[in-house]
Amino acid sequence: MARSALLNVMVDAVRKAGRALTRDFGEVENLQVSHKGPADFVSAADRKAEQILFEELSRVRPTYGFLMEERGVVEGSDPAFRWIVDPLDGTTNFLHGIPIFAISVALERQGQLVAGVIYNPVMDELFVAERGGGAFLNDRRLRVATRSNLAECVIGSGFPFLGQGDHGRFLAEARLVMNEVAGIRRCGAAALDLAWTAAGRFDAYWERGLNAWDMAAGIVMIREAGGFVTDADGGDRMLEAGSVLAGNEEVRKRLGAVLAKA
């Protein structure tokens, strides 16, 4: 695929941050046996990756602002543009040596998401999408799955973790969904869940309790792969609501109807 200058900027940044994360991921296994454990090391890896992304994106687009997991809001001199960055989505997986994690970078222009890049550096899977230009995995065009019968569908989701989220609501929703679908998968990295839905690996995906940086790039990916995205209650304020429901038009509607019963 021919990438725009903008996507090249994003890809270069995530690849550089990905090299640092891959090196650090290689050290995690050695730290598992220590009494203190690798948690502090992983936090440092997260911050280092974010610093790389901040420096690289600022160097080539110095007027753009940021919304970042660690730094929060960084105002730019051009209020029309903002990067939305998650330097390490799937921190718990990284911490335990599970190679399912990603860097996620999206660009927002005048409040609209216009480009996204999601990169799993260990698997070397690079998902890119730009508004009007389609979605791609390592230069292969992506399309969402076409199944519409929920009984044939594998659905991605994310479970609330200790001290976070509405466990009761999730259990009520999951109980209903399990009775309708072929299976539910929980991979532990929302950005990759959305990318995998864009790639047709999941037929649909829903999750609550997310942050904007968890899903911004993935929203662009789904749309450019021919899918539909709402918040988990069917609205269009995903970033504000902190929830997402995505898939092809029919399965998204049907899954939304199941969730509504909870």
Query: Is residue 86 part of an annotated ligand binding site?
Result: yes
**Residue 121 shares a structural domain with residue 188:** no
**Residue 15 shares a structural domain with residue 101:** yes
**Residue 93 shares a structural domain with residue 195:** no
**Residue 101 shares a structural domain with residue 197:** no
> Which one of 112, 141, 170 terminates a domain?
141
How far, in Å, CA of 257 to CA of 55, rounded? 44
The string of pLDDT tens digits covering residues 51-88 is 999 999 999 999 999 999 889 999 999 999 999 999 99
**Residue 24 shares a structural domain with residue 133:** yes
Domain limits for position 230: 150-260
Please answer whether residues 255 and 245 qualify as being in contact, where contact means their C-beta atoms are separated by less than 8 angstroms: yes
Query: Is residue 46 part of an annotated ligand binding site?
Result: no
Low-confidence ranges of the chain (pLDDT < 70): 1, 29-38
- Per the listing, tokens 């429901």 go with 245
3-state helix, strand, coil in the chain (%, to 5): 40, 25, 35
Query: Is residue 89 part of an annotated ligand binding site?
Result: yes
Q: What pLDDT, on a 0 to 100 scale, did the predictor assign at position 35?
A: 46
Query: Is residue 88 part of an annotated ligand binding site?
Result: yes
How far, in Å, CA of 192 to CA of 158, rounded? 11
